């Protein structure tokens, strides 16, 4: 049986997969940012059975199965439905764009466990059909604070826990550019409904239906409708005093519990490695995996198994150290996955990561198969942009910026270290 595919947008879903050079991309949106290890294993196996075995972790804390065909989409949907990971429609799925802290409910330093708010928000969004007119990228960030806060995550609607007058409070804000306009504070029971009302306000007042395009008058109107005062000064950012810069490896939570952060290089992991990770987690008595917007998986583990888990995950190719230069490298899927390039971008990026370590280059690298720059929209210190069979070199820019030189891929590993030492225009 062949599934009827509704391919309309460029933002993939499960009900609305996105065609790519290697087949359909099917996005899985875990509820509350969590998957059981059983579900993780089933999805890893599904990625090789129904796709090409390639899996992406996204910056919205989702997981994508690549290389799915119109014939294998239906059995993949059936599997996702059995795991309660398939929405009724593409529209209901698209609005369920919620990110919460990956250590919610695990981190003793968090201010508020946002999981109940996320669950309530999911239900209310699903019930409000009007909100399905919001753009696919309209998103919610629910930041309960703690070690892995979400202060840097862009979102249209933000709920952020903070301390004030020795009480836990939740600030409600609208995201635009790199800033947030705080509308006021809401109580824990009010939080989900208030976020929905703000989304409805963006739908009605914003010319783009995104929070960033709301005028000051529109923001005031939304705040007034909520009984809040948009001019109230709120500073909800990391207020527990324990926000950690550590994201990979063992993060001690209590005497009895650690979090283990396992990063996916370039946000990519293959189905075999993910299935083997799931088996390791089962053997370590871990039952749940959390996804994060920085493409690192988190699990809670006893201290006596956490170090071994890290060592085993490193063997699988996962990132377990914040000093790993791969964390500063973005690369798109490249040849074999995308018809827009003949360049093996990820293979080249891995080789260049070695040069980053050797030259102690402190910046960021983006290796892009073409000027579309799918892997990174923000500027990077060094960008290699594929053009035919070579790379154009951009410094301090994006894949669309003016290049200052060229790099022959055949020279990677031979002379490419010069790239990380020179700040001038260069041909290597
Ligand atoms: S940046 Fe270009 S080559 Fe890379 S995935 Fe996007 S379209 Fe394909």
State in Å: Cα 370 to ligand 1 middle.
Answer: 5
State in Å: Cα 14 to ligand 1 middle.
Answer: 21
CA–CA separation, 252 and 350 (whole Å): 30
Residue 389's alpha-carbon distances to 242, 306, 386, 392, in angstroms, are 48, 44, 7, 10
Which residue owns the Cα nearest ligand 1 atom 6? 374
State in Å: Cα 369 to ligand 1 middle.
Answer: 5
pTM: 0.91
Whether 374 is in the pocket of ligand 1, judged by its Cβ within 6 Å, is yes
Cα dihedral sign for 351, 355, 360, 363? Answer: negative
CA–CA separation, 406 and 426 (whole Å): 7
Q: Is the separation of the CB atoms in 55 and 40 below 8 Å?
A: no
The CATH code of domain 110-225 reads 3.30.413.10
Q: Phi and psi for 320 in degrees, rounded to 5?
A: -125, 10
State in Å: Cα 269 to ligand 1 middle.
Answer: 18
Whether 372 is in the pocket of ligand 1, judged by its Cβ within 6 Å, is yes
Structure tokens at 8: 């309309």
State in Å: Cα 21 to ligand 1 middle.
Answer: 9
Whether 369 is in the pocket of ligand 1, judged by its Cβ within 6 Å, is yes
Q: Is the separation of the CB atoms in 114 and 143 below 8 Å?
A: yes
Burial class of residue 272 (count of CB atoms within 10 Å of its CB; 0-12, 13-18, 19+): middle
State in Å: Cα 348 to ligand 1 middle.
Answer: 14
Give, in degrees to the nearest 5, the angle at Cα 357 between 354 and 359: 105
State in Å: Cα 409 to ligand 1 middle.
Answer: 17
Separation of CA 220 from chain center: 31
Whether 370 is in the pocket of ligand 1, judged by its Cβ within 6 Å, is yes
Q: Where are the domains of the chain?
A: 18-92+244-322, 110-225, 326-421
CA–CA separation, 200 and 185 (whole Å): 18
CB neighbourhood size of 339 (10 A):
11
Topology of domain 326-421 in CATH is Sulfite Reductase Hemoprotein; domain 1 (3.30.413)
Structure tokens at 296: 């690192």
Q: Which of 330, 342, 368 has most ligand 1 atoms within 8 Å of CB, for mutation?
A: 368
pLDDT of residue 427: 47
CB neighbourhood size of 205 (10 A):
17
Whether 20 is in the pocket of ligand 1, judged by its Cβ within 6 Å, is no
State in Å: Cα 192 to ligand 1 middle.
Answer: 37
Q: Which of 341, 347, 388 has most ligand 1 atoms within 8 Å of CB, for mutation?
A: 341
State in Å: Cα 195 to ligand 1 middle.
Answer: 35
- Cα separation of the two ends of the chain: 52
Which residue owns the Cα nearest ligand 1 atom 4? 369
Whether 333 is in the pocket of ligand 1, judged by its Cβ within 6 Å, is yes
Question: Which atom of ligand 1 is closest in space to residue 386's alpha carbon?
Answer: 3
The full length of the chain comes to 428
Long-range contacts of 207-210 (CB under 8 A, 24+ apart): 208/135, 209/133, 209/134, 209/135, 209/138, 210/135, 210/137, 210/138, 210/156
Structure tokens at 298: 């988190």
Whether 284 is in the pocket of ligand 1, judged by its Cβ within 6 Å, is no
Q: Which regions of 29-155 does DSSP assign to beta strands (E)? A: 34-36, 54-57, 63-68, 98-100, 140-143
- pLDDT in tens for each of the 428 residues of the chain? 445 444 444 578 999 999 988 899 999 999 999 999 999 999 999 999 999 999 999 999 999 999 999 999 999 999 999 999 999 999 999 999 999 999 999 999 999 999 999 999 999 999 999 999 999 899 999 999 999 999 889 999 999 999 888 888 999 999 987 789 999 999 999 999 999 999 999 999 999 999 999 999 999 999 999 998 765 556 555 444 556 678 999 999 999 999 999 999 999 999 999 999 999 999 999 999 999 999 999 999 999 999 999 999 999 999 999 999 999 999 999 998 888 999 999 999 999 999 999 999 999 999 999 999 999 989 999 999 999 999 999 999 999 999 999 999 999 988 777 888 765 444 44
Which residue owns the Cα nearest ligand 1 atom 2? 370
Helix, coil or strand: residue 304? helix
Structure tokens at 261: 């952060």
Topology of domain 18-92+244-322 in CATH is Sulfite Reductase Hemoprotein; domain 2 (3.90.480)
CB neighbourhood size of 100 (10 A):
27
The order of strands in the sheet holding 405-407 is 329-331, 365-368, 380-387, 390-397, 405-407
CB neighbourhood size of 406 (10 A):
16
DSSP state for residue 319 in the 8-state scheme: B
pLDDT of residue 336: 83
Decide whether 18-92+244-322 matches 110-225 in CATH topology: no
Q: Which of 372, 373, 388, 409 has most ligand 1 atoms within 8 Å of CB, for mutation?
A: 372
């Amino acid at each position: 049986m062949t599934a009827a595919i509704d391919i309309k947008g460029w933002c993939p879903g499960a009900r609305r997969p996105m065609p790519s050079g290697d087949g359909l991309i099917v996005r899985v949106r875990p509820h509350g940012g969590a998957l059981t290890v059983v579900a993780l294993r089933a999805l890893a196996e599904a990625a090789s059975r129904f796709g090409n075995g390639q899996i992406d972790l996204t910056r919205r804390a989702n997981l994508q199965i690549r290389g799915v065909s119109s014939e294998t989409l239906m059995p993949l949907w059936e599997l996702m439905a059995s795991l309660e990971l398939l929405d009724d429609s593409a529209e209901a799925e698209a609005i369920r764009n919620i990110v919460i802290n990956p250590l919610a409910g695990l981190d003793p330093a968090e201010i508020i466990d946002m999981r109940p708010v996320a669950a309530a928000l999911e239900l209310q969004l699903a019930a409000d059909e009007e909100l399905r007119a919001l753009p696919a990228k309209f998103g919610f960030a629910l930041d309960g604070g703690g070690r892995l806060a979400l202060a840097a995550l862009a979102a249209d609607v933000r709920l952020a826990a903070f301390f004030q007058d020795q009480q836990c409070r939740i600030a409600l804000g609208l995201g635009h550019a790199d800033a947030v306009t705080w509308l006021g504070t809401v109580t824990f029971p009010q939080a989900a409904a208030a976020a929905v009302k703000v989304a409805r306000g963006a739908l009605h007042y914003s010319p783009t239906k995104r929070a960033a395009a709301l005028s000051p008058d529109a923001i005031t109107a939304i705040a007034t409708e909520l009984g809040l005062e948009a001019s109230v000064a709120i500073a909800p950012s990391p207020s527990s005093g324990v926000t950690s810069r550590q994201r990979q490896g063992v993060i001690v939570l209590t005497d009895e519990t650690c979090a283990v952060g396992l990063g996916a290089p370039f946000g990519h992991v293959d189905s075999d490695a993910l299935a083997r990770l799931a088996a390791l987690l089962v053997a370590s008595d871990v039952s749940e995996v959390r996804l994060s917007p920085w493409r690192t998986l988190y699990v809670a583990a006893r201290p006596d198994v956490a170090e071994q888990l890290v060592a085993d995950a490193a063997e699988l190719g996962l990132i377990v150290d914040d000093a790993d230069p791969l964390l500063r490298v973005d690369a798109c899927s490249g040849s074999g996955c995308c018809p827009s390039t003949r360049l093996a971008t990820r293979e080249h990026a891995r080789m260049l990561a070695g040069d980053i370590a050797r030259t102690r280059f402190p910046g960021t690298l983006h290796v892009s198969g073409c000027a579309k720059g799918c892997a990174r929209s923000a500027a990077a210190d060094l960008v290699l942009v594929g053009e035919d069979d070579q790379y154009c070199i951009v410094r301090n820019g994006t894949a669309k910026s003016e290049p200052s030189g060229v790099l022959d891929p055949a020279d990677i590993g031979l002379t490419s270290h010069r790239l990380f030492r020179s700040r001038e225009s260069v041909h290597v």
